[in-house]
């Protein structure tokens, strides 16, 4: 009988479930998004699912183009912009 190696065994199905449905993770994403949206005039929060739960902050194009509002808000919050 083969012995399994001690340590961590990655479970892709469990990871997917956590990324999609974990209430604590979703709440943390919403809190971070709200922190950014509060700093940006006209910003709105949009949620959707891909292979994970996504919470995005949509920044008005003119605010981003003129002032870099999204980039500045993300920097001030210590987040990386994607």
Contacts of 80 (CB under 8 A, 6+ apart): 74
Range of the domain at 32: 13-76
pLDDT in tens, 62-80: 999 999 999 999 888 887 7
Residue 41 lies in a domain: yes
Q: Which residue has the tokens 């998004």?
A: 33
Position 7 confidence tier, pLDDT thresholds 50, 70, 90: confident
Residue 68 lies in a domain: yes
d(CA 2, CA 28): 41
Put residue 78 in one of left, alpha, beta given phi > 0 → left and psi -120 to 50 → alpha: left
Q: Are 56 and 81 in contact (CB under 8 A)?
A: no
Domain count, the chain: 1
Span 14-39, average pLDDT: 92
Q: Structure pTM?
A: 0.74
- Which of 44 and 17 is assigned the larger pLDDT? 44
């Amino acid at each position: 009988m083969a012995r399994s190696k001690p340590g961590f065994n990655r479970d892709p199905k469990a990871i997917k479930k956590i990324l999609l449905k974990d209430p604590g993770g979703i709440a943390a994403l919403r809190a971070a998004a709200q922190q950014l949206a509060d700093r940006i005039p006209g910003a709105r929060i949009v949620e959707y699912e891909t292979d994970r739960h996504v919470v995005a902050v949509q920044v008005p194009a003119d605010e981003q183009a003129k002032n870099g509002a999204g980039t500045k808000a993300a920097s001030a919050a210590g987040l990386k912009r994607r």
